[in-house]
C-alpha cells in the first residue's frame, strides 16, 4: 500500500495522515468552516516528501506514535535496542492490517525481530466527528515487564500556537540534566504543581521567572529544553490555544499508564538536526522513569520510589491493550 495513507471522518470534520514508516499518526486536521487547523507538530527539518524516506524516528518525527518500549538505552538486550530510542516500532515500517471502506479507521501491525521479548504490536486509529480514538495492543513472547507509552507532540512556535496547559498533580524534573548549559530546572526536583517548577539558582529572577518556572504557559521567551514527569495527572491533559480558538484534550487509561512525561522543547537543542529551530510540547503518557529505560525496569528508580509504576507487566501470548483519545473543541 502506498505511503502515506489519508483518513477522513464520516462528515469530514477531521482529516489525518498516517505514515507507515514509524506507524505514526503524522498529522491531524480539524476543519472549522473555512479554517483547517493542524493539531500536531512536525519536526522543522522534514522535507516535503519525507514520507518516502527510509524508516527512522528522526527522519519521520511528526504527530504521535507508540513507544514500546519507551526510552533509550546504552546497550542491546532482549527487550531494548540501543540505536532505536523509544522502541523498534517507531523506527520501522508497519503493515496495514485493515482499512475501513470509508477510510475513517485503520489498523496497523508491526512484528518485532526474532529474539526480542516482544512479539507484535497492533495500532488502531479511528476518526470520530470531534476526536480521534487510538489504541495499541502488545503481545510478548514470554512474561516480562516493559516501560511503554505514546508520544503526541503539539506545536508551540509562534503567536497562533501560544498555549495554556492544564494537567493535574505533582511531578519531578528530569533525573539528569536535559541539555547542559541550556536547561534551567533543578535536576530531580519534586514540585507540587506544573505552575511552580524549581529553577537553578543562577536563573532566578530572569526572563519573567522568579525562583520557579511556570510550565503551564508556552512557549517561553528564552531558549531552553526541559523534561518533567507528572506523577498523578489523572489520565488527562488539556491544551488551550486561545489565539486559534481551539481546545485539545488528551485522555488515556490511567490504570495501565499512570504518569505523563512533558517534553518542553523551546529552541534549546542546537546540534543536528535540531539547529535551534525546534519548538514543541510533547505530552507523553507513559509507564516509565522519564525516558531512562534502563532505570525504568529497576525497582529503586526515583519515580517508582514515589509510588508510581514504571513498567507494564505483560503475560506471554496475551494481548495488553492501551486506549487513549484526542478530542478537539472550540474554546
Domain ranges of the chain: 5-330
pLDDT at residue 1, rounded to an integer: 79
Cα–Cα dist 7/266, whole Å: 31
Confidence (pLDDT) at 212: 98
Residues 186/173, Cβ–Cβ less than 8 Å: yes
Quote the percentage of the chain above a pLDDT of 70: 100
Distance CA 93, CA 303 (A): 32
- What's the number of CA atoms in the CB half-sphere (13 Å) around residue 226? 29
Q: What is the mean pLDDT of residues 33-42?
A: 94
227-284: pLDDT as tens digits: 999 999 999 999 999 999 999 999 999 999 999 999 999 999 999 999 999 999 999 9
Residues 79-102, mean pLDDT to the nearest whole number: 97
pLDDT of residue 49: 86
| pLDDT for res 155 | 98
Supply the pLDDT for residue 48.
83
Element at 285 (helix H, strand E): strand 279-287
- pLDDT at position 292, please? 95
Q: Which pLDDT does position 63 carry in this prediction?
A: 98
Helix (H) or strand (E) holding 302: helix 302-305
Mean per-residue pLDDT, 55-77: 96
What average pLDDT does the segment 123-149 reach?
Answer: 98
pLDDT at 32 over 90: no
pLDDT of 86 above 90:
yes
| Percentage with pLDDT > 90 across the chain | 96
Q: Is 205 exposed, middle or buried (0-12, 13-18, 19+ CB in 10 A)?
A: exposed
Q: What is the per-residue pLDDT for 123?
A: 98
Please tell me the predicted confidence (pLDDT) of residue 34.
86
CATH number attached to the domain at 5-330: 2.70.98.10
State the Cα–Cα distance between residues 327 and 323, nearest whole angstrom.
Answer: 14
The single residue listed with the C-alpha cell 486536521 is: 29
Q: Specify whether the CB–CB gap between 23 and 110 falls below 8 A.
A: yes
Task: Tell me the pLDDT of the chain averaged across its residues.
Answer: 97
Kindly give, in sequence order, each residue whose CB lies less than 8 Å from that of residue 40, ignoring residues fewer than 6 positions away: 25, 26, 27, 28, 62, 63, 64, 152, 153, 154, 155
Q: Return the pLDDT at 88.
A: 98
* Confidence label for 33 from pLDDT (cuts 50, 70 and 90): confident
Per-residue pLDDT band at 106 (split at 50, 70, 90): very high
Assess whether pLDDT exceeds 90 at residue 126. yes
Rounded distance between C-alpha atoms, residue 47 and residue 192, angstroms: 41
Q: Computed over its alpha carbons, how large is the radius of gyration of the chain?
A: 19
The residues that bridge with 222 in the sheet, in sequence order, are: none
Amino acid at each position: 500500500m502506498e505511503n502515506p495513507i489519508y483518513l477522513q471522518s464520516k462528515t469530514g470534520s477531521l482529516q489525518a495522515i498516517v505514515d507507515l514508516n514509524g506507524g505514526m499518526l503524522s498529522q491531524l486536521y480539524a476543519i472549522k468552516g473555512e479554517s483547517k487547523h493542524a493539531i500536531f507538530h512536525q519536526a522543522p527539518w522534514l522535507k516535503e516528501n519525507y514520507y518516502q524516506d527510509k524508516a527512522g524516528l528522526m527522519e519521520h518525527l511528526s504527530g504521535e506514535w507508540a513507544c514500546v518500549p519507551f526510552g533509550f538505552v546504552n546497550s542491546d538486550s532482549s527487550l531494548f535496542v540501543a540505536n532505536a530510542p523509544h522502541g523498534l516500532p517507531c523506527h520501522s515500517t508497519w503493515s496495514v492490517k485493515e482499512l475501513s471502506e470509508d477510510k475513517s479507521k485503520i489498523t496497523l501491525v508491526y512484528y518485532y525481530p526474532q529474539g526480542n521479548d516482544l512479539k507484535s504490536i497492533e495500532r488502531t486509529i479511528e476518526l470520530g466527528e470531534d476526536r480521534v480514538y487510538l489504541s495499541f495492543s502488545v503481545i510478548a513472547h514470554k512474561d516480562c515487564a516493559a516501560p511503554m507509552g505514546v508520544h503526541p507532540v503539539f506545536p508551540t512556535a509562534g503567536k497562533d500556537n501560544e498555549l495554556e496547559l492544564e494537567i493535574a498533580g505533582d511531578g519531578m524534573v528530569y533525573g539528569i540534566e536535559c541539555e547542559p548549559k541550556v536547561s534551567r530546572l533543578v535536576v530531580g526536583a519534586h514540585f507540587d504543581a506544573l505552575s511552580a517548577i524549581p529553577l537553578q539558582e543562577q536563573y532566578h529572577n530572569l526572563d519573567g521567572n522568579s525562583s520557579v518556572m511556570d510550565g503551564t504557559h508556552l512557549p517561553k521567551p528564552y531558549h531552553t529544553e526541559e523534561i518533567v514527569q507528572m506523577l498523578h495527572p489523572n489520565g488527562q491533559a488539556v491544551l488551550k490555544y486561545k489565539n486559534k480558538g481551539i481546545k485539545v484534550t488528551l485522555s488515556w487509561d490511567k490504570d495501565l499508564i499512570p504518569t505523563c512525561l512533558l517534553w518542553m522543547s523551546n529552541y534549546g537543542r542546537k546540534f543536528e538536526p535540531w539547529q535551534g529551530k525546534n519548538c514543541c510540547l510533547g505530552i507523553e503518557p507513559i509507564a516509565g522513569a522519564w525516558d531512562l529505560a534502563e532505570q525504568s525496569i529497576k525497582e529503586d528508580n526515583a519515580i517508582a520510589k514515589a509510588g508510581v509504576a514504571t513498567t507494564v507487566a505483560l503475560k506471554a501470548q496475551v494481548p495488553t491493550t492501551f486506549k487513549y483519545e484526542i478530542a478537539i473543541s472550540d474554546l
